[in-house]
Amino acid sequence: MTLIVREFQPTDAEAVSGLVRAALPYMGVNTPDVIAWNVARAPAAQRNRLFVAELDGQVVGCGRTGLFHDSSEPGLAYVNVNVHPEARRRGVGSALLTAGESYVAGLGATTAYVWALEDGGSVAFGEKRGYRAGSSSAFQRLDLAAGPLPEPRPLPPGIELRTAAYFVDDPRPLYEADAQSIEDEPNDVPMTAPAYEMWLANEWSRPELDRDLTTAVLVDGVVATLSTAHTDGGTRYFSAGTGTRRSYRGRGFAKLAKLDSLRRARAAGYTEAFTGNDLGNGPMLAVNKWFGYRPCATERRMSRELG
């Protein structure tokens, strides 16, 4: 058995996409073009690297690592490892984690964060390597082909629904709503909103962003809520975030935006909808339960001091 850990090459995109889908079938949109885009377009300050593990010449694992450049606390890094289910317990995860930790320690990081599935083995794997358990997040799935979605109610005066495509010439109003949501989202890592130019480059320009399915709620012309949709162009829809500006919260706009987005997705032929929520985010968990989302997996944020 020969195990090699090396840096990602563009020709690895197809293999990495396949192993990530096998390891985390409910997380995000991880098509080959998205994998390659994430490597090529990551912010310079993030110092992002994607390591690939080969076992006897076959790509069986990957480790995405770098700095939380947008955190308000310096010295924080991520080391997220995925191993194909058929290649586990063969040293692949350990090799990738070691390579990632060494890389970010060399950048001056003092704390490493990882995500570990609560599947009976991943959390224990982290604990053996000195990682402490933090918050948990639930992946949820909705079968869009199984049954009807709730019918929309008539919009009150002054309330409008617009897709992101409506803002193609000036997406700043969407950014302003998204920025407040980023800062207020439950997270073990304190985050700050990116500058507008950074948001344009790393969110608005993403290949999986579906502007026709991303919905904004406008109140008297102001974007109050944004529900962002990522899709694979086939059957898979992923809710990448639904957030409301602080002064408009508690008025049902998150449910309104997400309902419009989901109905558009089903009409476009998407059959599976996925999302993820911190288990401390009670309001959004309740909204997703109302739509019919059901938990399919849970993962835990873990961290340890480096050095």
Residue 307 pLDDT: 79
DSSP 8-state code for residue 153 = P
Residue 58 pLDDT: 95
Cα distance between residue 188 and residue 113, in whole Å: 9
Tokens of residue 126, six digits = 């982290």
Residue 259 pLDDT: 97
Who's near 54: CB < 8 A, 6+ residues apart? 2, 3, 4, 5, 6, 60
CATH class of 142-296: alpha beta
Residue 3 pLDDT: 96
For the chain, which ranges sit under pLDDT 70?
none
What does pTM read for this prediction?
0.94
Task: Tell me whether the CATH fold assigned to 3-109 matches the one assigned to 142-296.
Answer: yes
CATH class of 3-109: alpha beta
Cα distance between residue 78 and residue 303, in whole Å: 9
Per DSSP, what are the bridge partners of residue 163?
Answer: 215
- How do the domains of the chain map onto residue ranges? 3-109, 142-296
Query: Angle 13-23/32-41 helices, nearest 10 degrees?
Result: 110
Tokens of residue 53, six digits = 């593990």
Q: Centre a 10 Å sphere on the Cβ of residue 17 and count the other Cβ atoms it contains.
A: 19
